[in-house]
């Protein structure tokens, strides 16, 4: 009952914050198109799609640190501060490495048309993104303490400030992709610094000894890392593939469609993130009956998405007309493909949430690696055959093995533990 109360309290408040953030996000997109135009908006999307890869390059340590923080809070609170600053130390070193690698790649490919034209901007955004990567460790701290509201509040603050500045720039008729890019990431950095200080103030800072030789990396970290890289390839290469094999205007169109389905992913991810630490604690305490009941309940609730997505897909063209203010050619096929993608993500996510929380990720790693290997060539092939519908179809085919196999793995793990301890 206590676990249920904690989940419902977080969900009710978090969903309110998330809904407001989504409304502001939808107000921002047509304004960005108005500010940049469709082609330059496609450039904006391509730049941030590429640089968002940086946030996935914690080598999987972020997830392991979160699990360790949850465990030390339950078993040994004396190690809590040590684990936190081992994490900070690692993120700082990774930030330096990522900046060096990113700069090297930009210099190596500087003769490419896109990179040559926007080289100075890409370097500047790279610097700011790496700084934000290091500071964003605060999200792990709050998540490990069952506080996911702070992350949602941070997102809302970013959206409010960014939208306000964008409206001001439109009124002033000041058009600059460089200035707006700096503003976008700088807001995230300042918000991250604020919430980091707020959290660290609760700790006894006199006891802090930052160990730059700390080793938080392990075999599990590497497995998490491979999962993150595979997810990145499967989920974040669509815009890059379309930009290379089609044009930036198609990138803009695809991005608009994906944004319409994005709220489902955000809400699903938020709901399941509530269960990560709860699953972890329950597993440590051998509360396998609660785990089994919760997994079954979440699975049954996921079926509600099917009729919702069906109705929503019918309404998509009308929503775009109202939202963007003009017609965009949205085929029935791409709406079906995005609906399937949402359900695959929701259903598989239930089982991944449990498996990640107990560090049982080896099979998941192999399935993601398989998906990542086939994703890019498959998406390119299907794009050439079907248009942009083929890109999301390629993504779905890359994820289908997770959908089929992970439920079997979870069922076996729970059954084995119940027979041993219950």
Looking at every residue in the chain, the average pLDDT score rounds to: 83
Given a cut of 50, whether residue 132 has pLDDT beyond it is yes
Given a cut of 80, whether residue 352 has pLDDT beyond it is yes
Given a cut of 90, whether residue 280 has pLDDT beyond it is no
In this prediction, residues 392-408 reach a mean pLDDT of 94
Please report the pLDDT score of residue 377 as a whole number.
93
**First-to-final CA distance of the chain:** 19
Name the band, by pLDDT with cuts 50, 70 and 90, for residue 236: confident
Give the C-alpha separation, 161 to 141, whole Å.
24
User: How long a stretch of residues is the chain?
Assistant: 422
Closest CA to 328 of 265, 390, 387, 250: 250
Given a cut of 90, whether residue 395 has pLDDT beyond it is yes
Q: Which of 86-95, 198-207, 384-393 has the lowest mean pLDDT?
A: 198-207
The vertex-316 CA angle with 310 and 322, nearest 5°, equals 150
- CB contact at 8 A, 58 and 91: yes
Given a cut of 70, whether residue 177 has pLDDT beyond it is yes
Mean pLDDT comparison of 19-33, 56-70, 135-149, 267-281, highest-scoring range: 19-33
Is pLDDT larger for residue 42 or for residue 304? Answer: 304
DSSP tag of 148? -
Give the C-alpha separation, 121 to 197, whole Å.
30
Given a cut of 50, whether residue 347 has pLDDT beyond it is yes
Q: Which of 68-72, 78-82, 327-331, 338-342 has the lowest mean pLDDT?
A: 78-82
Please report the pLDDT score of residue 61 as a whole number.
60
Q: In terms of C-beta density within 10 A (0-12 exposed, 13-18 middle, 19 or more buried), how is residue 261 classed? A: buried
Instruction: Give the tens place of pLDDT for each residue, 291-345.
Output: 999 999 999 999 999 999 999 999 998 888 888 777 777 888 999 999 999 999 9
Name the band, by pLDDT with cuts 50, 70 and 90, for residue 2: very low
The pair of structure tokens assigned to 301 is 């609730």
Q: At residue 211, what are phi and psi to the nearest 5 degrees? A: -105, 100
What percent of the chain clears pLDDT 70, i.e. is strictly above it? 84
In this prediction, residues 143-170 reach a mean pLDDT of 89
Q: Which of 215-229, 258-272, 295-309 has the lowest mean pLDDT?
A: 215-229
The pair of structure tokens assigned to 216 is 């938080």
Task: Give the CA-trace dihedral at 119, 124, 127, 129, to 10 degrees.
Answer: -100
Name the band, by pLDDT with cuts 50, 70 and 90, for residue 62: low
Give the C-alpha separation, 94 to 88, whole Å.
10
Please report the pLDDT score of residue 149 as a whole number.
84
In this prediction, residues 347-369 reach a mean pLDDT of 91
Is pLDDT larger for residue 379 or for residue 1? Answer: 379
In this prediction, residues 189-206 reach a mean pLDDT of 85
In this prediction, residues 226-255 reach a mean pLDDT of 80
Given a cut of 60, whether residue 1 has pLDDT beyond it is no
What percent of the chain clears pLDDT 90, i.e. is strictly above it? 33
In this prediction, residues 23-39 reach a mean pLDDT of 86
The residue ranges of every structural domain in the chain are 27-217, 218-422
Please report the pLDDT score of residue 95 as a whole number.
86
Given a cut of 90, whether residue 248 has pLDDT beyond it is no
Please report the pLDDT score of residue 417 as a whole number.
79
Given a cut of 60, whether residue 207 has pLDDT beyond it is no
In this prediction, residues 163-181 reach a mean pLDDT of 92
């Amino acid at each position: 009952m206590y676990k249920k109360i904690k989940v419902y309290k977080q969900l009710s408040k978090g969903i309110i914050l998330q809904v407001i953030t989504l409304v502001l996000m939808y107000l921002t997109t047509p304004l960005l198109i108005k500010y940049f135009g469709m082609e330059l908006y496609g450039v904006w999307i391509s730049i941030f799609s590429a640089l968002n890869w940086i946030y996935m390059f914690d080598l999987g340590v972020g997830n392991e640190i979160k699990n360790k923080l949850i465990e030390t809070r339950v078993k040994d609170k004396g190690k809590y501060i040590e684990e936190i600053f081992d994490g900070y130390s690692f993120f700082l070193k990774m930030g330096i490495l990522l900046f060096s690698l990113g700069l090297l790649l930009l210099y190596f490919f500087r003769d490419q048309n896109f990179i040559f034209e926007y080289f100075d901007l890409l370097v500047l955004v790279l610097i700011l993104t790496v700084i934000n990567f290091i500071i964003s460790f605060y999200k792990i701290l709050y998540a490990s303490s069952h506080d996911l509201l702070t992350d949602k509040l941070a997102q809302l603050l970013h959206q409010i400030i960014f939208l306000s500045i964008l409206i001001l720039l439109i009124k002033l008729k000041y058009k600059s992709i460089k200035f707006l890019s700096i503003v976008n990431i700088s807001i995230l950095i300042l918000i991250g610094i604020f919430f980091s200080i707020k959290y660290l103030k609760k700790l006894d800072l006199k006891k802090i000894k930052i160990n730059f030789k700390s080793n938080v990396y392990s075999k599990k970290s590497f497995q998490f890392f491979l999962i993150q890289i595979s997810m990145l390839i499967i989920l974040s290469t669509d815009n890059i593939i379309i930009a290379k094999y089609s044009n930036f205007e198609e990138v803009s169109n695809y991005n608009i469609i994906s944004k319409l389905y994005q709220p489902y992913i955000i809400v699903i991810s938020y709901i399941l993130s509530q269960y990560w630490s709860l699953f972890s604690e329950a597993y440590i305490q051998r509360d396998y009956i609660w785990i089994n009941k919760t997994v079954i309940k979440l699975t049954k609730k996921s079926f509600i998405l099917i009729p919702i997505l069906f109705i929503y897909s019918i309404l998509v063209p009308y929503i775009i007309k109202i939202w963007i203010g003009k017609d965009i050619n949205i085929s029935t096929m791409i709406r079906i493909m995005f609906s399937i993608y949402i359900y695959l993500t929701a259903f598989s996510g239930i089982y991944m949430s449990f498996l990640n929380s107990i560090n049982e990720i080896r099979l998941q790693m192999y399935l993601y690696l398989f998906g990542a290997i086939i994703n890019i060539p498959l998406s390119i092939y299907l794009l050439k055959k079907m248009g942009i519908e083929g890109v999301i179809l390629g993504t779905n085919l890359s994820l289908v093995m997770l959908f089929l196999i992970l439920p079997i793995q979870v069922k076996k793990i729970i059954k084995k533990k119940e027979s041993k301890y219950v």
